[in-house]
């Protein structure tokens, strides 16, 4: 705690109001990992406390740790809690832990509190949801509780911000306390545990019994312990005949024995009234065998309607705006290579990025609303049995739905799936869900081949085809999960066990923040890739090896002397592109993609969009030499319609080619960011490579089948 810097960690049960308190304390001064999502890697923020230890102001860094019921992790994201709290050298090791407890369910919430307290880290207990407790006729005496638990207890209301000042004051006093209080363990080790603890304490120079016990039970999750150290701990466990499973159950029961009298003294109940009546009423509809699915279908329909219909207005505005900006810059600057690079390369690339912002923002806002309201947990319940058939878990629904926006944050949300097997399957199939980057590809190809007719006087044919593509992605994901589950052995039992939060109105500030975070990281992360690809592609398409491009131009001019100037210009541009670096790449892979109906020009777009799908339309625009606005579907569309197949003389983009391309993009793993995140989440190249090969085979096979059937 140098120069008035204080580190505070926030822990608590899921649904105890932990993230609400985090937002109340830090406001907008918070940071998250690279990508936003429903669960976030590490969320930290800052706030200030006046006058600590002689400093005018203390700067507090608050780290939000994943919600858990105990310090023994049940899923991957929960391991981080003890990895920090058992390691005083960890950069996030806190000076004070704030434990958020749901006052309406105090007994269960105090289990985690007693565990943290036994670790010997100074703690403050924040009693939240007193209003809920009140509505259940429970009165919680905070003073009584503080006396029995030997820590400051603060009454707060995280939603309204009530008691936040008192909480800061309690943190301040805990930091300022100079003498270390004698720790009174809630759990006292028994029998062979004592000898084991003493030996571990001596080896690792620990002064806390319970930390030593955590070395014994959790050393495989501690990133700060080397392999030989872990092996030595295993040997000690062997030596003392320590039965971990037995110990864990006994410890938990013993803790509850301590907690029960404390709760019965501190909590007075005058005829308990049950928690929200309307939560039960709503559940009887939303979990109903008919109405449950009807509601879910309506919710999905609204989400799709929002992404595709509502988002189109701001998208059109951005489209017009960037087109105007490019035109203006083109005219304002002197013509030349720099002008071309800036407008056709960089600005067109940026336009291609920001056009997705409305869709991403709306989607993340809606996912946040579903999470916040408590509805997402119900969706997991009604989908669990179905998901199980495919080797997945009810919890897989969240990544699959989020995958419609972007697979990268969706894959990060799989960390809350406790079974490693189900988590792996979910990671492997999530990229098959049609993400927002596929949407522009779908849109332009559908516009080329599907007539804008009405079906049954109600539905737009193009809309139905689009919906069909999304459905195909979903079926592909479920089918693949089933197929993969036949080959990957399941080593552990599957769990569901999920606390159902009561229904709440979403906190709009929270929803807005989640939206802001997702847009920010999209623009920064995906933006970098798209920008880089746009510039590289522009260079590759504008230059060729040696004099090849000029040679090609002269050949065309020499053979076409009588043709009108317009035709000569077009032929020259085409010949120059063909002999450029990009053109030669395209020619190189043409034999492979010919059976799918693609030529070398489409090949260039395929290669470029391997880094990120969203590059495809922009690349097509560049390749078919359309100046100016690359996102303008009409102009790209007109150009593609006119494109002739040089061999047959008929339209290049026939329905066979378009449907083949659509198939290819439904299934193909064309996204570097996804490969990178799968590598990170599965700790190695094995699974991302299997996934890449599998998805590519699926894409190639179905595109081949469709082209051969239709042509």
Partner 1 sequence: MNLNKERMSARTVSHLKKGEKGIIKSFSDRAMSLKLLEMGCLPGCEVRLDAIAPFGDPICINVGGHYSLSLRLNEAAVIELE
Q: Is 294 in the site for partner 1 (CB under 8 A)?
A: no
List, in order, residues 6 or more apart from 651 with CB less than 8 Å away: 641, 643, 644, 645
Q: Least Å distance between CB 506 and partner 1?
A: 19
Under DSSP, the state recorded for 137 is T
Q: Is residue 278 involved in binding partner 1 (CB under 8 A)?
A: no
Binding of residue 136 to partner 1 (CB under 8 A): yes
Which of 162, 169, 283, 643 binds partner 1 (CB under 8 A)? It is: 283
584, 598, 552: which is closest to 571 by C-alpha?
A: 552
Region of 70-78, 519-527, 534-542, 694-702 interacting with partner 1 (CB under 8 A) = 70-78
> Total residues at the site for partner 1 (CB under 8 A)?
47
Of all helices (H) and strands (E), which one includes residue 163? Answer: none
Taking the least distance from each CB to partner 1, the nearer of 120 and 276 is 276
Which residue reads 């799968």 in tokens? 678
* Residue 584, H or E segment: helix 581-593
- Binding mask 221-260 vs partner 1 (x if CB under 8 A, - otherwise)? ------------------------xx-xx--xx--x----
Binding status of residue 503 toward partner 1 by CB under 8 A: no
As a whole number of angstroms, the distance between CA 404 and CA 388 comes to 21
CA–CA distances in Å: residue 560 to residues 557, 564, 575: 5, 9, 12
500 sits near partner 1 (criterion: CB under 8 A): yes
State how far the Cα of 391 lies from the Cα of 485, in Å rounded to an integer: 6
In 10 A of CB 570, how many CB atoms?
13
Q: Is the Cβ of residue 272 or residue 337 nearer to partner 1 in the bound state?
A: 272
**Residue from 139, 160, 284, 638 binding partner 1 (CB under 8 A):** 284
**What is the chain's length?**
711
Residue 267 three-state SS: strand
Q: Binding of partner 1 at residue 39 (CB under 8 A)?
A: no
Q: How far is the CB of 70 from partner 1 (least distance, A)?
A: 5
Which residue, 463 or 501, has its beta carbon nearer to partner 1?
501
Interface pick for partner 1 out of 9, 49, 111, 608 (rule CB under 8 A): 111
Per-residue x/- track, 360-389, partner 1 (CB under 8 A): -----------------x--xxx-xxx---
Q: Terminal CA-to-CA distance of the chain, rounded, Å? A: 72
As beta bridge partners, residue 269 has 138
Please identify, using beta-carbon distances, which residue of 287 and 589 lies nearer to partner 1: 287
Alpha-carbon distance of 339 to 627, in angstroms, equals 12
Determine the Cα–Cα distance for residues 215 and 200; give it in Å rounded to an integer.
Answer: 8
Find out whether 620 and 605 touch, Cβ atoms under 8 Å: yes
Determine if 143 is a binding residue for partner 1 (CB under 8 A): no
Q: Looking at 46-54, 77-85, 106-114, 365-373, which segment touches partner 1 (CB under 8 A)?
A: 106-114
The least CB distance from residue 191 to partner 1, in Å, is 18
Strand partners, 49: 58
d(CA 492, CA 524): 39
* Rounded least distance, CB 378 to partner 1, Å: 9
* Minimum CB distance to partner 1, residue 216 (Å): 16
How far is CA 401 from each of CA 16, 94, 504, 692, rounded to the nearest angstrom?
25, 35, 21, 21
**Choices 42-50, 103-111, 450-458, 638-646 (CB under 8 A): range interacting with partner 1:** 103-111
Binding residues for partner 1, rule: CB under 8 A, are 15, 69-70, 72, 74, 104-105, 107-108, 111, 136, 245-246, 248-249, 252-253, 256, 272, 274-275, 279-280, 283-284, 287-290, 292-293, 377, 380-382, 384-386, 394, 493, 495-500, 502
């Amino acid at each position: 705690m140098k120069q008035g810097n204080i580190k505070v960690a926030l822990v608590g049960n899921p649904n105890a109001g932990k993230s609400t308190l985090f937002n109340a304390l830090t406001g907008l001064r918070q940071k998250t990992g690279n990508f936003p999502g429903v669960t976030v890697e590490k969320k930290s923020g800052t706030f200030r406390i006046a006058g600590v230890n002689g400093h005018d102001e203390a700067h507090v860094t608050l780290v939000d740790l994943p919600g858990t019921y105990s310090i023994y992790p049940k899923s991957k994201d929960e391991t981080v809690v003890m990895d920090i709290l058992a390691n005083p050298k960890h950069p996030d090791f806190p000076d004070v832990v704030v434990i958020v407890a749901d006052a309406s369910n105090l007994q269960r919430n105090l289990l985690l509190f007693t565990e943290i307290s036994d670790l010997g880290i100074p703690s403050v207990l924040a009693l939240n949801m007193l209003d809920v407790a009140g509505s259940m006729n429970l009165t919680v005496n905070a003073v009584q509780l503080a006396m029995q638990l030997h820590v400051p207890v603060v009454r707060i209301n995280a939603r309204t911000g009530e008691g936040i000042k008192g909480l800061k004051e309690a943190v301040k006093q805990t930091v300022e306390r100079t003498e270390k209080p004698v720790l009174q363990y809630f759990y006292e080790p028994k029998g062979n545990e004592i000898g084991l603890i003493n030996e571990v304490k001596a080896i690792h120079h620990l002064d806390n019994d319970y930390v030593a016990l955590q070395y014994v039970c959790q050393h495989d999750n501690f990133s700060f312990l080397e392999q030989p150290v872990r092996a030595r701990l295993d040997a000690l466990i062997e030596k003392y005949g320590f039965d971990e499973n037995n110990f864990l159950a006994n410890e938990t029961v013993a803790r509850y024995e301590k907690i029960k009298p404390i709760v019965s003294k501190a909590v007075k109940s005058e005829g308990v009234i049950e928690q929200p009546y309307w939560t039960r009423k709503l559940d009887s509809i939303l979990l109903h065998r008919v109405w449950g699915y009807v509601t879910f279908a309506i919710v999905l329909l609204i989400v799709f309607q929002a992404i595709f219909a509502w988002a189109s207005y701001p998208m059109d505005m951005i489209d017009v705006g960037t087109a105007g900006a490019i035109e203006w810059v083109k005219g304002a600057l002197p013509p030349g290579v720099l002008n071309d690079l800036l407008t056709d390369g960089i600005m067109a690339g940026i336009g291609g990025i920001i056009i997705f912002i409305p869709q991403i923002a709306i989607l993340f806002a809606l996912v946040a609303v579903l999470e916040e309201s408590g509805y997402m947990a119900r969706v997991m319940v009604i989908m669990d049995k179905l998901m199980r058939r495919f080797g997945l878990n009810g919890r897989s629904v969240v990544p699959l739905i989020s995958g419609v926006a972007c697979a990268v944050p969706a894959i990060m949300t799989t960390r809350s799936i406790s079974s490693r097997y189900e988590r792996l399957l979910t990671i492997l199939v999530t990229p098959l869900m049609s993400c927002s980057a596929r949407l522009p590809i779908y849109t332009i190809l559908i516009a080329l081949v599907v007539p804008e007719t009405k079906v049954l006087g109600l539905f737009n044919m193009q809309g139905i085809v689009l919906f069909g593509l999304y459905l195909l992605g979903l079926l592909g994901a479920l089918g693949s999960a089933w197929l993969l589950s036949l080959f990957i052995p399941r080593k552990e039992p599957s769990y569901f066990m999920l606390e159902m939060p009561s229904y709440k109105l979403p906190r709009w500030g929270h929803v807005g923040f989640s939206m802001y975070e997702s847009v920010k990281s999209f623009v920064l992360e995906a933006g970098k890739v798209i920008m880089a690809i746009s510039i590289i592609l522009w260079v590759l398409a504008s230059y060729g090896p040696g004099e090849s491009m000029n040679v090609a131009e002269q050949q065309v001019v020499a053979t076409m002397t009588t043709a009108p100037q317009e035709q000569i210009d077009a032929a020259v541009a085409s010949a120059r592109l063909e002999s450029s670096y990009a053109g030669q790449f395209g020619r190189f892979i043409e034999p492979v993609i010919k059976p799918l109906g693609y030529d070398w020009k489409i090949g260039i777009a395929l290669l470029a969009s391997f880094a990120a799908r969203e590059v495809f339309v922009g690349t097509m625009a560049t390749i078919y030499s359309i100046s100016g606005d690359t996102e303008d579907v009409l102009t790209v569309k007109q150009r593609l319609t006119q494109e002739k197949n040089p061999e047959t003389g008929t339209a290049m983009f026939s329905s066979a080619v378009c449907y083949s391309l659509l198939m290819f993009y439904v299934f193909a793993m064309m996204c570097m960011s996804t490969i990178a995140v799968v590598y990170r989440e599965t700790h190695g190249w094995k699974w991302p490579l299997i996934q890449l090969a599998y998805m590519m085979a699926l894409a190639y096979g179905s595109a081949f089948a469709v082209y051969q059937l239709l042509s």
